Amino acid sequence: MMDQRAVVKVRIMGDEYTLRTEASAEHTKAVAEHVDRTIRAIMSGSTTMETQKAAILAALQITDDLFRERSALDGVTADMKQLASDIRPLLPPAKRGDEAGAA
């Protein structure tokens, strides 16, 4: 079995990291740039904040963003399922995709 992971070098807060990833180099670099920007934005609000503390706060902020997006996606998915359920009775029987329409 061949290893499909690529080695990608990224820079976060001036430090270089070598990452092994199955994602594309472009994606991995974009993720690292987002993390770097988030840490820098947090640190810009304080002249004395340690990098480690800023990294933890950035992780919390990024995770909060992820959870909010997942929740929004769940809402859209539920809305789409409800819409499909509402529309199904309006379709001709052959287009409903249920056994009653197929008979």
pLDDT at 97 over 80: no
Residues 74-85: what's their mean pLDDT?
95
Query: Per the structure block, which two tokens stand in for 102?
Result: 């197929």
Residue 102 has pLDDT above 50, yes or no: no
- The domain segmentation of the chain, as residue ranges, is 6-95
pLDDT tens for each residue of 1-26:
556 889 999 999 999 999 999 999 99
Helices and strands in the chain, H and E counts: 3, 2
Residue 77, H or E segment: helix 51-87
- Provide mean pLDDT across the span 42-65: 95
> pTM value?
0.74
